[in-house]
Amino acid sequence: MTEKTDPILIKGASLLGERTADVLVVDGVVAEIGTPDAAGARVVDADGLVLLPGLVDLHTHLREPGREDAETILTGSRAAAVGGYTAVLAMANTTPVTDTAEAAERVLDLGRQAGLVDVQPVGAVTKGLAGEELAEIGLMARSRAAVRVFSDDGKCVHNARVMRRALEYVKAFGGVVSQHAQDPDLAGPASCCHEGELSGRLGLPGWPGVAEEVIVARDVMLARHTGSRVHVAHASTAGTVEVLRWAKAQGIAVTAEVTPHHLLLTTDLLAGYDPTYKVNPPLRPAEDVEALREALADGTIDAVATDHAPHARHDKEHAFVDAAFGMLGLETALGVVATVMVESGRMGWGDLARVMSTRPAQIAGLADHGRPLAVGEPAHLTLVDPAAAVVVDRDSSVSLSRNNPWHGRSLSAAVHATLLRGVPTVLEGKLA
């Protein structure tokens, strides 16, 4: 459905960094590309800017219901829009858990009410995320929320039998299970970081990369066996990349995402015991970071997903072992990926659009998002200033939380404008 909105002329943008053209947006749709006549349109000067399809985040924690002190669907939507996102998938580990149709519809409605980004609820795989009985996956799929991505994220679907059943079950409606790969028998309850030389010196209990890899390996075999799709959430190790390469070469229907922080931050940052850097999966050594970058560039990893995980200050102000896991990510994702992958020449803007918009939309089954920049497509658009140099200031974030690992860092590229269905949600880098 299209809304009656003011026409907008995006003037002089470089489409996907490839060719410069003017883009006219009318009634929520891309009406003309080239040199349209734009009488009466509101002009957005995009000289020197890059136009991308609106970004899609496969993995966000909006904390509502349950932890509205850390984030709400409204504040999370603001952060998403500022970050250039037009759609986010909201993970199910809220309180209560999103494991029923009613809960999913509630999240959908709150997202629509906020109206800044399309909030697509993710449904739990198991009841209460307990890992034992399947949740009402079918009802969630049939609800107004049309849930297609299911995840117990935060926890691993550890039981092989349950994972098998889930993979089989979602075939009925083209759903996908997004697995938080972490074998609890290899990652003990007190584990809080990557197990390696640094954790040995620091006396921090950690878990090794293999705790992720054994689950990824098992799941791709189950995906093959069941003929179903599986998605690997927040891949973090070189070993996982190896398994993914092999599995894709076999034609197995596996997709994978990587977070911005796993593309840049390493476990060395833990030397000061700062809980800002405590995250699950943990920051890994440089070898893993390099493998992830290569995999993103060559498509072995399909998408970037933020795993935006807001936390109230008091949940982080503990000793490292006791602090909550998670980092903010929505507002800085584009800057990090642009700095690490585009500026370094490993990817172009077209590739970035693929990993941050097109592929995530396809994996999530969001038909309206991640579309090509072409006439007739829904106007979910993001304008990026590739030459901007931004020093991240955590206090100017629009999220309710402040657990920001990028504070003080310099990132290249900034979101200039975001359009949701042709309506600007962000202009000049600020909420419109």
Partner 1 sequence: MKKHLLSVDDLTADDVHTLFTTAAEMHDVQRRQVKKLPALRGRTVINMFFEDSTRTRSSFEIAGKWLSADTINITGKGSSASKGESLRDTVLTVASMGVDALVVRHGASGACQQVAQWIDAVVINAGDGTHEHPTQALLDAYTLTRRLGTLEGKHVVIVGDLTHSRVFRSNVACLTMLGAEVTVVAPPTLMPSGVDAWSASAGFATTYDLDEVIDKADAVMMLRVQRERMSGGFFPTGREYTVGYGLTRDRLARLGPDVPICHPGPMNRGLEIAADAADAVQSAILEQVSAGVAIRMSVLYHLLAGEGAV
Active-site residues, by number, are 307
Is residue 287 involved in binding partner 1 (CB under 8 A)? no
Is residue 424 involved in binding partner 1 (CB under 8 A)? no
Is residue 137 involved in binding partner 1 (CB under 8 A)? no
The binder of partner 1 chosen from 3, 6, 37, 197 (CB under 8 A): 197
Alpha helices in 299-381 (DSSP H): 313-316, 333-337, 349-353, 359-364
Q: Name which of 173 and 320 has its Cβ closer to partner 1.
A: 320
Is residue 202 involved in binding partner 1 (CB under 8 A)? yes
Which of 117, 56, 75 lies closest to 370 in space, CA to CA? Answer: 56
Stretch that binds partner 1, among 26-34, 201-209, 255-263, 402-410 (CB under 8 A): 201-209
Is residue 95 involved in binding partner 1 (CB under 8 A)? no
Q: Name which of 318 and 430 has its Cβ closer to partner 1.
A: 318
Is residue 118 involved in binding partner 1 (CB under 8 A)? no
Is residue 184 involved in binding partner 1 (CB under 8 A)? no
Query: Mask of contacts with partner 1, 318-337, x by CB under 8 A?
Result: xxxxxx--------------
Is residue 173 involved in binding partner 1 (CB under 8 A)? no
Is residue 430 involved in binding partner 1 (CB under 8 A)? no
Is residue 269 involved in binding partner 1 (CB under 8 A)? no
Least distance in angstroms from the C-beta of 149 to partner 1:
30
Is residue 131 involved in binding partner 1 (CB under 8 A)? no
Which of 298, 330, 305 lies closest to 231 in space, CA to CA? Answer: 305
Is residue 45 involved in binding partner 1 (CB under 8 A)? no
Stretch that binds partner 1, among 34-42, 269-277, 288-296, 333-341 (CB under 8 A): 269-277
Stretch that binds partner 1, among 37-45, 189-197, 363-371, 419-427 (CB under 8 A): 189-197
Q: Name which of 83 and 275 has its Cβ closer to partner 1.
A: 275
Least distance in angstroms from the C-beta of 261 to partner 1:
20
Is residue 115 involved in binding partner 1 (CB under 8 A)? no
Least distance in angstroms from the C-beta of 124 to partner 1:
23
Least distance in angstroms from the C-beta of 306 to partner 1:
25
Is residue 174 involved in binding partner 1 (CB under 8 A)? no
Q: Name which of 138 and 208 has its Cβ closer to partner 1.
A: 208
- For partner 1, the binding residues (CB under 8 A) are 195-206, 208, 272-275, 313-315, 317-323
